[in-house]
Amino acid sequence: MKYNIRLVIADDHEIFRDGLTLMLSKQKDIALEGQAGDGLELIKLVDQKNPDIILVDVKMPRMDGIEATKLLLKKKPEQKIIALSMFDEENLIVEMLEAGAKGYLLKNADKQEIIDAIEQVYEGNSFYCRHTSSRLAKMIVKSNFNPYKKTEKATFTDREKLIIKYTCMQLTAQQIGEKLFLSKRTVEGYRTKILEKMNVKNTAGVVIYALKNSLVEEKDIL
């Protein structure tokens, strides 16, 4: 699918911004419209550029990402924001989601995951970084963030529910196949269909969807 996504970045580390800018400049479907070093600069930049997607660092001087997100969404509720965070800022990630961010990326995410996040959120979906810890997944589930309220619930077969449970338990396709007497390839086919039904991109998305929709219990998450 072809996109024409207009993007701005807010992060107080210039080297990180420049690296991200260089990487994204090679993507034909993404146009970087500008950079900001803090939340106040970001508010002005968004007013000027009206981007489709905003990548926002959670922790910034003068105005942090959480406050900036709240202000931006007060002006334009449909604005699509992705949080950028360090791995040890789980509480802040949850606060960003509750403030209205549509997804989050850890700063060690690779190029493809960053592009996936931008495209997913642009399409109106949520995005969870694949490095999401089980602790963070549980925190998100207990938070006020729930992107599934307005969507029609997907239905799953008994076999799909088992595969969802085993996926949440971090079993590989090979291990699930051995438990269910299925080939690894068959399990992978089921997983692809499950991801499509949930409208998620990775195991982290499966875990959060499954917990939010009571397909698994917290004790099943490792």
Assigned domain for 136 exists: no
Q: What total of structural domains would you count in the chain?
A: 2
117 shares a domain with 81: yes
Assigned domain for 192 exists: yes
127 shares a domain with 73: yes
171 shares a domain with 109: no
121 shares a domain with 34: yes
Note down the domain range covering 190. Answer: 158-220
166 shares a domain with 107: no
Assigned domain for 211 exists: yes
91 shares a domain with 33: yes
200 shares a domain with 111: no
Assigned domain for 15 exists: yes
Assigned domain for 140 exists: no
- In this structure, is the dihedral angle defined by the CA atoms of residues 27, 23, 52 and 113, taken in order, positive or negative? positive
185 shares a domain with 118: no
Q: Name the percent of the chain lying above pLDDT 70.
A: 96
What is residue 199's predicted lDDT score, i.e. its pLDDT? 87
124 shares a domain with 16: yes
CATH number at residue 210: 1.10.10.10
Among 88, 113, 131, the domain-final residue is: 131
Assigned domain for 120 exists: yes
Distances 214 to 5, 124, 164, 172, 173 between C-alpha atoms, Å? 34, 23, 11, 22, 22
Q: What is the DSSP string of the chain?
A: ----EEEEEE-S-HHHHHHHHHHHTT-TTEEEEEEESSHHHHHHHHHHH--SEEEEESS-SSS-HHHHHHHHHHH-TT-EEEEEE-TT-HHHHHHHHHHT-SEEEETT--HHHHHHHHHHHHTT--B--TT--HHHHHHHHHSS--TTTTSPPP---HHHHHHHHHHHTT--HHHHHHHHT--HHHHHHHHHHHHHHHT-SSHHHHHHHHHHTTSS-GGG--
12 shares a domain with 112: yes
- What would the mean pLDDT of 2-22 be, rounded to a whole number? 89
Tell me which of 143 and 191 has the higher pLDDT. Answer: 191
- What would the mean pLDDT of 90-115 be, rounded to a whole number? 91
What is residue 135's predicted lDDT score, i.e. its pLDDT? 84
Assigned domain for 197 exists: yes
120 shares a domain with 184: no
Assigned domain for 201 exists: yes
What is residue 156's predicted lDDT score, i.e. its pLDDT? 95
Q: What is the pLDDT of residues 54-82, one digit of tens each?
A: 999 999 988 999 999 999 999 999 999 99
pLDDT band at residue 2 under the 50/70/90 scheme: low
111 shares a domain with 185: no
CATH number at residue 65: 3.40.50.2300
